[in-house]
Each structure stands twice: as structure tokens, then as C-alpha cells.
Structure 1
Amino acid sequence: MNNKCLLKKTLLATTIAFASQHAAAAGFQLVEHSATGLGRAFAGEGAIADNAAVGARNPAAMAMFDRAAFSGGLTYINPSVDAEVHGATYGDTGKAKDIAPDAWVPNMHYIHPINEQFAVGTSVFSNFGLSTEYPKNVGSLGGGNTDLMTVNWAVNGSYRINEQFSVGAGLNVLYADAELNRYIPPKVPGIGGRRAIKMEGDGYGYGWNVGAIWEIDQNNRIALTYRSSIDTTLEGKGDFLGEGLTNTSAELDIEFPDLWELSGYHRVAPKWAVSYSVLRTGWSSFKELKATSSSCKVGNGVCFEKEENWKDAWRYSAGVTHYLNNQWTLRAGVAIDHSPVKRDDRTLSIPDSDRFWYSIGATYAIQENMTIDAGFAYLDGDQKKGQEVESTGFGNVEYEFEAGGDAYIFGMQFSYWF
């Protein structure tokens, strides 16, 4: 069996698609860095600066703080995603229920003003991740199980130019850890049911971000931010059935996309404010996924590779904030998150679709310098049909399928001003 052919589509589908089906944002992106933002569908995140969590979105907004601030929170993601394979060359059809496990996503942020012009801060959160678990006998070459976890550590600084304009910049260190398993369809003679691929590894990547904020007046501000793409090489061990290799060293390269965001905040009445964001994620930079090892002889060192046709994706959000009284602040928001996967490129492992967000949230001020936030969002995703062909050493394996689902996101956060 030609291992390079066997893995031509399978592995990308596992390393990437696990999240593309079930990550909170389209593609395999996570945006859950703040329970406060969750309550308004993350509308206006770069411009509002409710608490220290803004440092993860716009370093320039740290200039708005006149005292040190801390925020820490935890988000719970509960996906409800099902898949069904209607047709398969080797009969590995059937239903796969709840293929996306629940996930907990923590975050932590700190901002420290140095003087009236300079501030520094740090944030720890996750940009990308989640996982899928399929039964071994359903869509075996496109199913299996996959886990991808990332942690982003950002160190930022800001500078206030004058009363209206501030800028900021920072460095990002991203740690990624991935594991995947893929299986031969049970009815393939001689090797059915065996594991075709196992790979696990981790690695670091480095990037940067910049931001600017225009404080038009005390009730209106607009922000623009950019976060660079990050190239990451995961180094680890792999088993490749087609090569007859077990526990061999291998590398997997992933380029995480860049992000542009325009956001705004406008207090239109003493107790009411509106916010909005336009976020572009540069998924078009995700050109291929390739695993290499000097032990893989069939592919001249390439254990598998797959070209992708993803496109840049846009997310639009709008929110409203109601300042009820000195203790309570209420929020709501909506968003549409466009998929980076083109219709003709949708596969069993990547049945990505547009997502619609509906969010509510609230802040309770325990005292003047201490608050607790709670947020909830319902993500509505469509069921999508698709068809794909896996080229393998034992012939083409074709799948016809339908997959998709919804998700529920809950967030809690504690904030303190020193």
C-alpha cells in the first residue's frame, strides 16, 4: 500500500477538521478569551476595554487604564455535532453521535500602567483547538480521533500619543500539541480495522501583533488591530502502516492564520451603548499540510501531504450594552461567522459551515474595584452534505455524508483593579 496516497487527505482532515467542525469560530479558531466579550458575541472587543481581557485583542487599549488590572476566566464549550456516512466504498457507513467532546478553555490577563503614556501587559489564552472522536467503523479514513490544543502567551506594550490616539504592539509565543489516529475500513481484505496512521507531537511558533485606538470622545472610540500568522512545526512520533513504520520521528508543519479586526464602541445614551466588529481571518495562507520524516521512503521523505483551497473568512458582530445601575451591566449580541471552506472542498472531515451567534451576558460589581462576569452563546450551524474520494494503495475509497451541528458556550470571569 502506498502510504503517501493513503494519507493524501486523511491526516489534514484529522488535524484540521476536528476543529473546523466544532471550534467556536469558523475554521479551527477559538475566540473565547473573555466572558465579558462572550455576552455581546465579541462585538467591539478592540475598543471597549471593560477589563484587562482587552489586552488579548488590542494592546493599544491598555493605554486607557490608569491603574493595574487583572482578569481571569474559564469558558465551557458544549458542542452537539453528529455525522452520518450514507455511502462508502467498503461499507463503513453509519451514524456518529456527539463526535465533538466538551472542552474547557481558560484565560488570564494583566495590565500595568507605568505612567500616563506607557503601559505593559500580558495575556494567556487559546487561539485554536478542539477535538473529534468517530467510531472506528464509520468513515474510517476520514474519522478516527483527533486532538489539537494551543496556548498563546502574549506580552504587550502601549503608548498614548495624545488624548485621542494610542498605539500598541506585542509578541506572541504559541504552543501547539496534536494527536491523531486513522483506521483502515473494516472490510478491506487483509488489513481491515488496523490503524493506518498514528501521530503525536508538539512545538512552538512565534508571531506579533499591533493595534491602534481612536478615542473620539469619552463616549465614542474606534480600534484597528492586526495579529500575524504563526508558522509552527510539531515534532513527535508516528506510526505509518503503508511504510511499515512504528514509533518513527516525524514533523508536521502548520501555519496558523493572521487576523485583522476593525471594532467600535458608541455610548448612544446614558445607560445604553452599541458595539460592532469586522474580523478577517487569513485562512488563504493555509496552503497545505505536510508531514515529513527521513524514514518515509515511498514519498522521498514526505509521509503525507495535502493541498488546501481555503479562503479568507469574515466575521461580523453587533452588540448592545445596558448599564442598568451601579452594580449590574447587561449585554446581548449577534454575529455571523463565515466558513473558510468552499462548498466544493467540503469533506467528511471538514464539513465546515457558516455559524450564527446569539449571545447574552451580565456583569455584577461586587465592589467598586471587583466584578464577576457571566456570558452565554448559542451557535447555530447547518447540516451540510458532501462527497469525497480518498486515493489509497488499495484503490479509491469514496464517501457520501452529511454532518454538522450546534454548540453552547458558557463563560465566567473575575476581574480586579488594584
Structure 2
Amino acid sequence: MKTLRCTYPIIILACVSTQSLAAGFQLNAQSATGLGRAYAGDAIIADNASVMAKNSAAMALFDQPSLSVGAISVVSDVDITDASYTPSRGQTVDASVDDIANNAFIPNFYYVHPIADSGLTLGLAMYSNFGTSVEFPDDYVASEFGGETSLTSINIGLSAAYQVTEKLSLGAGLDIIHGEGKITRGSLLDVEVDGVDYGFNLGLAYEFNDDNRIGLSYRYSPDLEADGDVNMMGEGEASSINIPLPDMLELSGYHRVMPKLAFHYSVQYLQWSEFDSLTSDEFSSSIKDYEWADAGHVSVGTTYYPSESWELRAGYMYDHAPTDTLQSMSIPDSNRHWLSVGTTYKLSPSQSIDLGVSYILGEDTAVEESLTVVGESHINGVVESSAWLFGLQYNHSF
């Protein structure tokens, strides 16, 4: 298995790979707590500070400062099987390839600070919402369809929540998004860029009572303009690239139906139709067309509270792929099924450790793609994907 290696000076920067994490190149790796329940109810449960990654309004549920620090490790496996490649000149050959998705280590950091007697809560978050890393062998027979596709990102979130009434809280936040991208396609394309842009998020939290609450959040994601070196056959050189990112809408609920048992759920919608193509203002044609469709996921989960010291959780997610009529070997996407379990152990009334494990199984998906840059070449095959995710997190209330 290949390993995506990275070295950063502090924990806030992430090395990411999503070909088995989420449909498209979205990351579902914001916390080990959420991982253990397949992120069901994650925008409202508010069992630690990581909730602000999904819903800033839920920070109003905290009555004391809280810190969460953690990481998720990903062991992924993506293969292209039963593949055939027809070059512009020559005979059709086998193009099957194993293990094209890199593994990853994804850290995160959250801090929530209520302002006493004001109804106001402030928060700082550092995590990632987007990323992908697919790398074909250097000698891959269909280099114009393979090569390397890598996108890493970090989201620095500054958020505030205000308790409007005893039951209703509202939230808002600024997202500072730093992204880096690298794309190579043999002699056809070579891109290496990075950039910073800004988004925002809005949230709502409503408590029916202590045991029942819902949360709704919206996140605006910008079209990230990244600067660097872009070389494309037929177009020449450029100094920037535009990467459209999808807006997100999420609804979550939490219901503690018995003293020791709760059920929770989430529905997330992503406007992947925004990701129609990669472009440069300096080129007359697009760098790469994708034309994805809007998609999202549905997750359900349960939490069991056997004692004051322990919590046990489990969840299932169905994650729908955004790929539509136009397909791509460079981001070989498929619908995914998540099976998750996790636990919390309270070291003391103010400290806890979370563990989460998920197994993700992607549906086998047929992919076909053609290029007419130099003559016409064609490739088709079946994408097979799976992954194990392991999460660890430390939480502290002050």
C-alpha cells in the first residue's frame, strides 16, 4: 500500500485522501466521535467541541470552555479491474491497476468558549472538508487517463453562536480555506498550484427539551482560485486555476428515548453541480470537465450510555456519488456504505477519550472515458473501493 506522507509544523494542517472517505472529494473526517456513529446527528449532538465543524449554532449548548483534539487514520484500497485501453493508434490492451488511492492521516482541533452571562459563545476550528489523492503508476499504459490527481485543504473556522431564546440558538462563522492541487497527465497536463479563499456558514439549533433537539446548517464554499504553474497541451502555460467547491446543507436530530439510549440522524446535501469543470482564466478551453450532479448522504445511529464513565455508539451511512453522465478515471467515484462503531471513556468529569472505527464499502461502478487531444483514445473499467478509518480524540472541559 502506498502512503501519502506529509510533514507540517503544527497539527492544524492535514494530509488527506478521500477516494474511500466520501463521495466526490468531500471529507467525512471531522472527528473520532462522529466517525463512531457514521456522523449521524453530528450537527446537533454537541457532546464535544467538534460539533462546530458541522453547525456553529450548536456551540450555544456549551456552558463551559471545551477543547477537542484528534486525528483519523485512513487505510484505503481502490482498484480498477476488467479495464481495457484503446490508444489513438494501436491495439486495445489491458489497463487494470491496483491500489491507486493514497492512505492518509487527518488531524483536527476545536475550541469553544462561552462568554459568561451574555448568551454568546465563540469558537475556533481547524480541520478539512475537501481532499483527494489518486496516483497511478508512472508506467501506467493509459497515462493520459491516469497520472496523479491530488487536492489537499485546510479549513480554519472562526465562529460565534447566540442563544436567542431558551430553545433557539443561531450561529455564523467565517471559513478561511487553504488548498493545494497537483494534476499530471503524462505530457498532456501538468498543474501544481495553491491558494486561499473565504467561505461562511450559518446555523440553527432548536431544543425541544433536554432529550430532543434538531440542528440545521448551511455552508457556502467558494470557487477557490489557486496560483502556480499550469501547463496544458494545446493551450500553453497559465499561472492560476479555478477549483469550484460545493455548498453544503445539513439537517441533524438527536432524541434520547430512554435514560440509557438515544437515536440520531443526519441528512446532508451537497451542491456538487458547482463542480462542472477545472478552468483557468488564461485558457480558452477547460482544463478538465466533470459535470457532476448534486448529491449527499443519509446517516442513522444510536448511542448507549451504560454508565457515567462509558458511552457506546454505532451508525450507518449511505453516501451517494455525484458522478453523472460524464465519468473520470482520475476521480473514480462510487456510492458508499459506512458501518461504524465507537466509544467514549471519561477519564474524569472534565476529560474524555473517544475512539471510532468505520468500514466503508464502495459499490462496484463501471467507468468509461474518452479523450480527443491527440487523436481519440478510450478507456473503460470497473472501480472497486473500500477503506478502514480509525479515529482517536481527546476532549477537555475547563
TM-score, length of structure 2 as denominator length:
0.91
Q: What's 2:85 paired with?
A: 87
| Distance (Å, rounded) in 2 between the aligned partners of 1:174 and 1:410 | 25
Given that residues 388 and 398 in structure 1 are in contact (C-alpha distance below 8 angstroms), is that contact kept between their aligned partners in structure 2?
yes
The letter of the residue matching 1:179 is: K
Alignment of 1:387-406 (within 5 A): 387-393=368-374, 395-406=375-386
Does the alignment pair 1:25 with 2:5?
no
Given that residues 73 and 106 in structure 1 are in contact (C-alpha distance below 8 angstroms), is that contact kept between their aligned partners in structure 2?
yes
Q: What's 1:190 paired with?
A: none
Q: What's 1:317 paired with?
A: 299
The letter of the residue matching 2:86 is: A
| Distance (Å, rounded) in 2 between the aligned partners of 1:410 and 1:367 | 24
Aligned equivalent of 2:121, options 119, 123, 141: 119
Of the structure 1 ranges 156-165 and 231-240, higher mean CA displacement relative to structure 2 is found in 231-240
Gaps (5+ residues) in structure 2? 1-15
| Distance (Å, rounded) in 1 between the aligned partners of 2:46 and 2:287 | 43
Of the structure 1 ranges 87-96 and 210-219, higher mean CA displacement relative to structure 2 is found in 87-96
Structure number with higher helix proportion: 1
Alignment of 1:17-416 (within 5 A): 22-84=19-81, 85-89=83-87, 90=90, 91=92, 93-116=94-117, 117-135=119-137, 136-183=139-186, 195-242=187-234, 248-293=237-282, 301-302=283-284, 304-342=286-324, 344-393=325-374, 395-416=375-396
| Distance (Å, rounded) in 2 between the aligned partners of 1:77 and 1:63 | 32
Could you tell me how far 1:110 is from its partner in structure 2?
Answer: 0.2
Given that residues 32 and 75 in structure 1 are in contact (C-alpha distance below 8 angstroms), is that contact kept between their aligned partners in structure 2?
yes
- Residues 47-66 of structure 1: CA distance to partner in whole angstroms, max 9, x if unpaired? 10000001111111111111
Structure showing greater radius of gyration is: 1
Given that residues 181 and 198 in structure 1 are in contact (C-alpha distance below 8 angstroms), is that contact kept between their aligned partners in structure 2?
yes
Given that residues 20 and 362 in structure 2 are in contact (C-alpha distance below 8 angstroms), is that contact kept between their aligned partners in structure 1?
no
The letter of the residue matching 1:392 is: V
Could you tell me how far 1:34 is from its partner in structure 2?
Answer: 0.7
Could you tell me how far 1:353 is from its partner in structure 2?
Answer: 1.4
The letter of the residue matching 1:110 is: Y
Given that residues 83 and 403 in structure 1 are in contact (C-alpha distance below 8 angstroms), is that contact kept between their aligned partners in structure 2?
yes
TM-score, length of structure 1 as denominator length:
0.87
Could you tell me how far 1:242 is from its partner in structure 2?
Answer: 4.5
- Residues 325-351 of structure 1: CA distance to partner in whole angstroms, max 9, x if unpaired? 111100000010011112x32232343
Question: Identity of paired residues, percent?
Answer: 39
Could you tell me how far 1:241 is from its partner in structure 2?
Answer: 4.7
The letter of the residue matching 1:128 is: F
Moved segments of 4+, more than 6 Å? none
Gaps (5+ residues) in structure 1? 1-17, 184-194, 294-300
| Distance (Å, rounded) in 2 between the aligned partners of 1:60 and 1:182 | 43
Could you tell me how far 1:249 is from its partner in structure 2?
Answer: 4.4
Given that residues 51 and 59 in structure 2 are in contact (C-alpha distance below 8 angstroms), is that contact kept between their aligned partners in structure 1?
yes
Aligned Cα RMSD in Å?
Answer: 1.7
Tell me how many residue pairs correspond in the alignment: 377
- Residues 178-234 of structure 1: CA distance to partner in whole angstroms, max 9, x if unpaired? 112111xxxxxxxxxxx3322101001111101011100000001111001211101
The letter of the residue matching 2:159 is: N
Question: Secondary structure at 1:45's aligned position in 2?
Answer: coil
Compared CA separation, residues 142 and 19, structure 1 to 2 (3 A): farther
| Distance (Å, rounded) in 2 between the aligned partners of 1:309 and 1:181 | 20
